[in-house]
Amino acid sequence: MDAFAAIADPVRRSLLERLASGPARVVDLAAEHPISRPAISKHLRLLVEAGLVAADQHGRERHYRLVRAGLAPVRSWTDALVRTAPPIPASALDGLDLEVRRTSRDRRGTPTPRTHEETA
């Protein structure tokens, strides 16, 4: 399983969010979710396969921790999306500036200059 498939599931995303704050045991993670401990273990196994989580043995317990480097493919993809966002064209900003000036002038009550045709 790759990182993208792993984060597609909301339970696995929730586990990653929790592990971002520090390591945890399966029993602690299961207590935070409305699903069984075996189901949490299965999600953790998939996260380990995807390289997003690692398990460290502490006596008889396994403590799971986030492997931030495993998120590199996702980060690269989202960074590419942000970099390719179209910039705001200067003409749009010029139009915004003109509208702000016009609105400010109207609010101050400054009379709009009349053309020769309007005064005749």
| pLDDT in 10s for each residue of the chain, 120 residues | 899 999 999 999 999 999 999 999 999 999 999 999 999 999 999 999 999 999 999 999 999 999 999 999 999 998 888 777 667 777 777 888 888 888 887 777 655 556 555 555
Provide the pLDDT for residue 5: 93
Q: What pLDDT sits at residue 103?
A: 82
* Predicted pLDDT of residue 87: 72
Please report the pLDDT score of residue 102 as a whole number: 86
Q: Which CATH number fits domain 1-109: 1.10.10.10, 3.40.50.2300, 2.30.30.360, 1.20.140.10?
A: 1.10.10.10
> 70-74, long-range: CB within 8 Å, 24+ apart, which pairs?
70/3, 71/3, 73/2, 73/3, 73/4, 74/3, 74/4, 74/7
